[in-house]
Amino acid sequence: MVGLIISISSVQTQQGQQNIQQPPIVEVKQILSIPEAISYYSDLYGIDDELPLEIARAESQYKNVCNKQYGCSAGIGIFQIVQTTFDENCEGSPYDVKDNIKCGIKMIKDGDTWRWSQSIHVWSQNISEETKKEIRVLN
């Protein structure tokens, strides 16, 4: 489980002349897979999900892991973000799936795709020409 999308709504009822605030209604909408969470947060950050999905697939195969060869010092989680980079750019923990996804998407939105330049030969193969034109690292 990556995360939950919930809906919280408040209800007011009238009883005689009084408005009575009812407790909020919390409804679980769905449980997200890693690719669904990437798409969800891409939408929240206002970017197309194509590039984040491809970078995450190239970096970790959508698994919340450390780099197999070099350990966590070389990259953490879905987007394989180095701890110092995470600390400089994001909040939370790179080990937390949601925080890692949000951080990766934030950096992509900010034009920091160069941070994944070592895997560009993988992720750039699967993105559209339009997306390639939009990102700095390929211009």
Q: Which long-range contacts (CB under 8 A, 24 or more apart) does 118-124 make?
A: 119/55, 119/58, 119/59, 122/58, 123/51, 123/54, 123/55, 123/57, 123/58, 123/59, 124/54
Q: Provide CB contacts within 8 A for 87, sequence distance 6+.
A: none
Question: Distance of CA 81 to CAs 1, 105, 119, Å?
Answer: 21, 11, 13
Measured CA to CA, the distance from residue 43 to residue 93 in angstroms comes to 21
pLDDT at 73: 72
pLDDT of residue 139: 39
Sorted by where each begins, the domain ranges of the chain are 1-32, 34-138
What is the structure's pLDDT at 65?
83
Three-point CA angle 96, 84, 91, nearest 5°: 45
What is the model's pLDDT at position 47?
Answer: 93
Least Cα distance to 137 among 35, 55, 40, 44 occurs for 55
Question: Which pLDDT belongs to residue 32?
Answer: 83
Q: Mean pLDDT by 10-residue block, N- to C-terminus, for the chain (139 residues)?
A: 51 56 58 91 94 95 80 85 95 95 96 91 89 64
Q: Are 5 and 11 in contact (CB under 8 A)?
A: no
pLDDT of residue 15: 56
Cβ-Cβ contacts under 8 Å for 44 (sequence gap 6 or more): none
Pick the CATH number of 34-138 from 1.10.530.10, 3.50.50.100, 3.40.50.880, 3.90.1150.10: 1.10.530.10
pLDDT of residue 87: 97
